[in-house]
């Protein structure tokens, strides 16, 4: 991973964390999971798979450190989601809608995993009153954002203006 690419990725992750914890922390009804979205879209780039996994782990750890729930919870979830994303990313290549749907399903997988592991470790703070709604709203919000921003994100990270140009 070249330094500029690492720098761009780190900046994007930090931006996602700050926007997630401020803007989407206050506007709860349209809340996506921006950090998970960045991790999923990172799997679409030409970055080495191991780097993607390590970045996902680090991103999850950062969110854990800023929150009130268990340290390592999101690190495990984001790493698993990144792995599944790496294994299935061929399915996102056929068009903007396919990319969005793929992102939505991966986010759904991620949030279900988050709630399941959180429950196993007694994290009742993750199981708030509208957990059912959020399990649907977060993937839909991520799906919408992926449809809009996925090509731009991949081009920015890879420095390739022709990436994800669907015909």
In whole angstroms, give the CA distance from residue 41 to residue 139.
14
State which of residues 13, 59, 73, 145 lies at the interface with other proteins (CB under 8 A). 73
Binding mask 140-159 for other proteins (x = CB under 8 A): --------------x---x-
Q: Which one, 80 or 103, has the nearer CB to other proteins? A: 80
State which of residues 10, 116, 131, 136 lies at the interface with other proteins (CB under 8 A). 131
Write the DSSP assignment of 44-95 as a string of letters. Answer: TSSS-HHHHHHHHHHHHHHHHHHSSS-TTHHHHHHHHHHHHHHHHGGGGTT-
Q: Which one, 133 or 148, has the nearer CB to other proteins? A: 133
CB 84 within 8 A of CB 95: no
- Does position 129 interact with other proteins (CB under 8 A)? The reply is yes
DSSP state of 124: G
State which of residues 13, 63, 100, 145 lies at the interface with other proteins (CB under 8 A). 63
- Does position 59 interact with other proteins (CB under 8 A)? The reply is no
């Amino acid at each position: 991973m070249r330094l500029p690419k690492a720098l761009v990725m780190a900046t994007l992750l930090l931006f996602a964390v700050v926007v997630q914890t401020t803007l989407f922390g206050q506007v709860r009804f349209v809340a996506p999971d921006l950090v998970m979205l960045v991790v999923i879209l990172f799997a679409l780039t030409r970055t080495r798979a191991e780097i993607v996994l390590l970045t996902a782990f680090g991103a999850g750890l950062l969110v854990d450190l800023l929150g009130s729930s268990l340290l390592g919870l999101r690190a495990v979830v984001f790493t698993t989601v990144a792995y599944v994303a790496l294994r299935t990313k061929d399915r996102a290549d056929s068009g903007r809608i396919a990319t969005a749907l793929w992102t939505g399903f991966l986010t759904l997988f991620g949030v279900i995993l988050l709630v399941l592991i959180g429950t196993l470790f007694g994290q009742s703070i993750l199981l708030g009153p509208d957990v059912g709604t959020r399990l649907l709203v977060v993937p839909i919000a991520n799906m919408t954002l992926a449809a809009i921003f996925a090509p731009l994100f991949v081009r920015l990270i890879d420095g390739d203006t022709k990436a994800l140009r669907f015909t």
